[in-house]
Chains A and B, each alone.
Chain A
Amino acid sequence: MRSNGLSTNQIMRQVVYALALGIGASYYFFGWGVLLQIILGVITAVVAESVFLLLRKQDVKKTISDGSAILTAVLLAVAIPSIAPWWIIVVGVSFAIIFGKQIYGGLGNNPFNPAMLGYAFLLISYPLQMSTWQVDFLSFGQSLELLFNWTNIDAVSGATRLDAVKTGLSLGNSIDNLQVYSSSQAWINAGFLFGGLYLLLRRIIFWQIPASFIAGIAVTAFLISIGNADAYLPAHNHLILGGTMLGAFFIATDPVSASTTPRGRIIYGFLIGVLIVVIRSFGGYPDAVAFAVLLMNITVPLIDYYTQPRIFGK
């Protein structure tokens, strides 16, 4: 992200506003679940960050008000299943804040994207809760009840489209016979896309990362499906399923853990896109944004080292 005169707090606030479109789409299709997760996540983030700042004898009010912990919580809450039990978001956000950020010394020092670290932790630790996704619209009461009483979950849950496609392909079905389009996911992705374009217009994020991220997905998906189109998801489906747009505009663009040079950003975003398609197509997990982002986070120092801009005249 660029500084362009805005304070950290203002930037974080703009990012949260930009997320509203995608969250709105999710609300339209699934109801209150995602909003409840966000509320719970934000409360957890503020509490976890305050406790840790007190232990580290730092200025609590000043650091909380930069909004970065809240943004981490919102991103994680959007990424997890909206019908996950309450402790999933609480444990995930606490892990993201404490082990993703504070343990490295707070905002600016974390090598990994905290929200994605929390997501990967949850996905590996609680596979059942993290792969049970909502399929239909639920009323406020139903969502609230599921949050605290995670029973009869089978009646309202199902596999995501990416999951269903993966299972279908592994059973030997051709992609033509599988349902690969999901209108709810397409609209949610569109919401994040337009929110992201708003951030680009406001010059809060750099264009290189989302552009090369999307190019990476499209090129890789195209290349691996050449000559074998039956067995792989086409590129345009990759773009509107799962967490693609959220990842491209809101997650990979995290200013702390992303590459900081212009050429580096292109390499960084492109390789995330490549990894997403590779993991989705050949890996064990249906979606891959978190793993791809974390893997590329590790390479950022190397990318930055080799892509330093040349000083004119040298």
Chain B
Amino acid sequence: MEDYIKIAKNGLWSNNQALVALLGLCPLLAVTNNIVNAIGLGIATTFVLVASNVTISIFRNQIRKEVRIPIFVLLIASFVTIVELLMQSYFYELYLILGIFVPLIVTNCAILGRAEAFASKNTWGKSLLDGLMMGVGFSVVLIVLGAMRELIGSGTLFDQSALLLGSLGDTLSVNVFEDYQGTLLAILPPGAFIGLGLIVALKNFIDLRKS
């Protein structure tokens, strides 16, 4: 049990892939200009992480050490293709917005990193939890950054939720500031770097306070 709690804590906080390992920054920075994109990419990444972690841990004794990296990538790419096709059929508009960043999940170092560092050495149960927690930890950062950028950049929250939830989503969209003209920098790439920097700083600040 202790192991499992440690795995969860690692994924969510102390070894957070986005805040501590600083992995997967390309999609993290590119699609977080609003919450809905962030949630979409977060779910997709988490799904791929869990699926690849479980599969790799099940076959970890059959995969030869010399060719493990190509096999990991092949497995990850298969799951990414599944996610891509699913998104294309059920969330077509979101798929169009996320564009190249859905297939690019293959190259997300966080996923290959977990496969190599964790799934190839542990049982499938632990790997499942590790994948889930790493994915959730990554998604939370995506969503917080997306919320920050959307709020400062265009003064809304959950804009275009309809892409994810259909007609239900229209009620969710909030216009936080009336008559707000937007701060373009927050939506452009520099805003992503500054925002991520601030979140990393906040995490380090909390850690320092604790110790």
Interface residues of A, Cβ cutoff 8 Å to B: 91, 99, 121, 124-128
Q: Could you tell me the distance between the alpha carbons of A99 and B152 in the complex, rounded to whole angstroms?
A: 16
A121 CB contacts on chain B under 8 angstroms: 185
Q: Output the nearest chain A residue to B182 by Cβ-Cβ distance.
A: A125
Of A99, A126, A128, which is within 8 A of B183 by CB?
A126
Q: Is B194 an interface residue (CB 8 A)?
A: yes
How many A-B residue contacts, CB cutoff 8 Å?
17
Q: Are A125 and B185 in contact (CB under 8 A)?
A: yes
Q: Are A124 and B194 in contact (CB under 8 A)?
A: no
Interface residues of B, Cβ cutoff 8 Å to A: 181-186, 188, 190, 194
Q: Which 4 A-B pairs have the closest CB atoms?
A: A125-B185, A125-B183, A125-B184, A124-B185
B182 CB contacts on chain A under 8 angstroms: 125
Of A91, A99, A128, which is within 8 A of B194 by CB?
A99
Q: Are B181 and A124 in contact (CB under 8 A)?
A: no
Q: Could you tell me the distance between the alpha carbons of A121 and B153 in the complex, rounded to whole angstroms?
A: 13
B181 CB contacts on chain A under 8 angstroms: 126, 128
A128 CB contacts on chain B under 8 angstroms: 181
Q: Could you tell me the distance between the alpha carbons of A127 and B194 in the complex, rounded to whole angstroms?
A: 20
Main secondary structure of the interface of A (DSSP, over half): helix
Q: Distance (Å) between the CB of A81 and the closest chain B CB?
A: 16
Q: Are A126 and B184 in contact (CB under 8 A)?
A: yes
A126 CB contacts on chain B under 8 angstroms: 181, 183-184
Q: Could you tell me the distance between the alpha carbons of A124 and B184 in the complex, rounded to whole angstroms?
A: 7
B186 CB contacts on chain A under 8 angstroms: 125
Q: Show 17 A/B contacts (Cβ-Cβ < 8 Å), sorted by A.
A: A91-B183, A99-B194, A121-B185, A124-B184, A124-B185, A124-B188, A124-B190, A125-B182, A125-B183, A125-B184, A125-B185, A125-B186, A126-B181, A126-B183, A126-B184, A127-B184, A128-B181
Q: Could you tell me the distance between the alpha carbons of A102 and B58 in the complex, rounded to whole angstroms?
A: 51
A124 CB contacts on chain B under 8 angstroms: 184-185, 188, 190
Q: Distance (Å) between the CB of A63 and the closest chain B CB?
A: 21
Q: Could you tell me the distance between the alpha carbons of A124 and B183 in the complex, rounded to whole angstroms?
A: 8
Q: Output the nearest chain A residue to B153 by Cβ-Cβ distance.
A: A125
A99 CB contacts on chain B under 8 angstroms: 194
A127 CB contacts on chain B under 8 angstroms: 184
Q: Distance (Å) between the CB of B187 and the closest chain A CB?
A: 9
A125 CB contacts on chain B under 8 angstroms: 182-186
B183 CB contacts on chain A under 8 angstroms: 91, 125-126
Q: Could you tell me the distance between the alpha carbons of A296 and B182 in the complex, rounded to whole angstroms?
A: 29
Q: A91-B183, A128-B181 are in contact. List 15 more A-B contacts (CB 8 A).
A: A99-B194, A121-B185, A124-B184, A124-B185, A124-B188, A124-B190, A125-B182, A125-B183, A125-B184, A125-B185, A125-B186, A126-B181, A126-B183, A126-B184, A127-B184
Q: Could you tell me the distance between the alpha carbons of A128 and B188 in the complex, rounded to whole angstroms?
A: 17
Q: Distance (Å) between the CB of A86 and the closest chain B CB?
A: 14
Q: Distance (Å) between the CB of A125 and the closest chain B CB?
A: 4
Q: Could you tell me the distance between the alpha carbons of A128 and B183 in the complex, rounded to whole angstroms?
A: 11
Q: Could you tell me the distance between the alpha carbons of A262 and B88 in the complex, rounded to whole angstroms?
A: 60
Q: Output the nearest chain B residue to A99 by Cβ-Cβ distance.
A: B194
Q: Output the nearest chain B residue to A122 by Cβ-Cβ distance.
A: B185
A91 CB contacts on chain B under 8 angstroms: 183
B190 CB contacts on chain A under 8 angstroms: 124
**Which residue of A121, A125, A126, A128 has the most chain B CB atoms within 10 A of its CB atom?**
A125
Q: Distance (Å) between the CB of A296 and the closest chain B CB?
A: 18
B194 CB contacts on chain A under 8 angstroms: 99
Q: Could you tell me the distance between the alpha carbons of A128 and B181 in the complex, rounded to whole angstroms?
A: 10
Q: Distance (Å) between the CB of A54 and the closest chain B CB?
A: 16
Q: Could you tell me the distance between the alpha carbons of A91 and B152 in the complex, rounded to whole angstroms?
A: 12
B184 CB contacts on chain A under 8 angstroms: 124-127
Q: Could you tell me the distance between the alpha carbons of A93 and B183 in the complex, rounded to whole angstroms?
A: 15
Q: Distance (Å) between the CB of A285 and the closest chain B CB?
A: 14
Q: Could you tell me the distance between the alpha carbons of A3 and B138 in the complex, rounded to whole angstroms?
A: 49
Q: Could you tell me the distance between the alpha carbons of A126 and B182 in the complex, rounded to whole angstroms?
A: 8
Q: Distance (Å) between the CB of B189 and the closest chain A CB?
A: 11
Q: Could you tell me the distance between the alpha carbons of A125 and B152 in the complex, rounded to whole angstroms?
A: 11
Q: Distance (Å) between the CB of A100 and the closest chain B CB?
A: 12
Q: Could you tell me the distance between the alpha carbons of A91 and B190 in the complex, rounded to whole angstroms?
A: 17
Q: Could you tell me the distance between the alpha carbons of A146 and B190 in the complex, rounded to whole angstroms?
A: 31
Q: Distance (Å) between the CB of B155 and the closest chain A CB?
A: 13
**Which residue of B183, B186, B190, B194 has the most chain A CB atoms within 10 A of its CB atom?**
B183
Q: Could you tell me the distance between the alpha carbons of A91 and B182 in the complex, rounded to whole angstroms?
A: 13
